[in-house]
Amino acid sequence: MGTRDEVPKTAVIEKALEHAWNWFSLHAAHRMQSVNFFLVAVAFLSAGYVAAFQIPDHLLAAAVAALGAMMSAFFNRLELRIKELIHAGEDAMKPLQAELAQITGVPELQILERVESPKRSFTKYSVVISLIHWVSGIAFLLAVVYAFLSDP
């Protein structure tokens, strides 16, 4: 393979975009898998909490709820790291999209610039996912308190 000067600029941009897109796509998929796994785990822990009350074992219910609260915090931390990895891919794509838009004369190809600020509040993935984590974490903490207060 020749030097960079021998390779057409559009081919370099295409390869760079492909590389950045693959990075972004991998971590965006991880984000959605993480959210799905979190929702399944919340469902199972919620069912376990209810089942513990039916036994009745309020200490077990409190333990399950505490596990749910900890899991919510851990998933929130994981989301923060995934967000960093996704932004790294976006940061790599922004100048490449700008270059491509300039070469083609199509400014709409600066997709990341266009979607940087959502038109509606509370619609960014990171905001919605964090809200899900926080709400479930608080609900599980309240469930711990309820389990102790309702212990006969």
| Residue 9, pLDDT score | 79
Work out the average pLDDT over 114-122: 80
Residue 62: closest CA among 151, 124, 148: 148
Residue with tokens 């009350």: 53
| Lowest-confidence pick of 33-37, 45-49, 108-112, 127-131 | 108-112
Q: What is the predicted pLDDT for the residue at 123?
A: 80
The per-residue pLDDT for 42 is 98
Residue 124 confidence (pLDDT): 85
pLDDT at position 3, please? 54
Tell me the C-alpha distance between 4 and 75, whole Å: 42
Does position 14 have pLDDT exceeding 70, yes or no? Answer: yes
> In angstroms, rounded to a whole number, what is the distance separating the alpha carbons of residues 64 and 48?
7
Res 38: pLDDT: 97
pLDDT of residue 119: 80
If one counts every other C-beta atom within 10 angstroms of the C-beta of residue 152, the result is: 4
In one-letter notation, the amino acid at residue 93 is M
Mean pLDDT for all residues in the chain: 90
